[in-house]
Amino acid sequence: LLGYISHEEALQYQKRSQVLLLVEINTEETQGIIPGKVFEYMAAKRPILGVGPENWEVGRLITESNTGQTYDYEQYEALKEVLLQWFRDYKMGKLGLSDAKVEPYHRRELTRKLAEYLTWE
């Protein structure tokens, strides 16, 4: 374990990682919440493995942006298969995101959309 590292160091580790794991608990308090970490993961341009509740908002973002795969907690076989496939891709030097669609999720674009909503344009 690394212990405490700065936010900048964490971002560098994300970019050097092979796969990024994002796990969410299934509680009423977390429904509809999108952690900022998912946008950092998208910017790192590494495959995201999301594990969370069914109809998870983050799962929709990952699917729409083509930045990884998401699974429900009980999808053991599917999780196993994607991890094995990603490992095979890694060994062949092909693990990565070739057609990710992250532009709509950049901070400037999200801020622009929020400004449109707030100004009723």
Collect all residues with Cβ–Cβ distance below 8 Å to 80 and sequence separation of at least 6. Answer: none
Extract the tokens encoding 43.
């910017």
* pTM exceeds cut of 0.75: yes
Confidence grade of residue 46 (pLDDT, cut at 50, 70, 90):
very high
Cα 93 to Cα 86, 87, 90: the distances in Å are 10, 10, 5
Amino acid 115: pLDDT: 84
Check pLDDT > 90 for residue 107.
no
Amino acid 121: pLDDT: 56
pLDDT tens per residue, range 50-103: 999 988 899 999 998 889 999 999 999 999 999 999 999 999 999 887 666 767
Percent of the chain with pLDDT over 90: 51
Extract the tokens encoding 9.
């160091």
Confidence grade of residue 16 (pLDDT, cut at 50, 70, 90):
very high
In 3D, which of 86, 88, 80, 70 has the Cα closest to residue 34?
Answer: 70
Average predicted confidence (pLDDT) for the chain = 88
Report phi then psi at 70, rounded to 5.
Answer: -130, 150
The full set of domain ranges for the chain reads 7-119
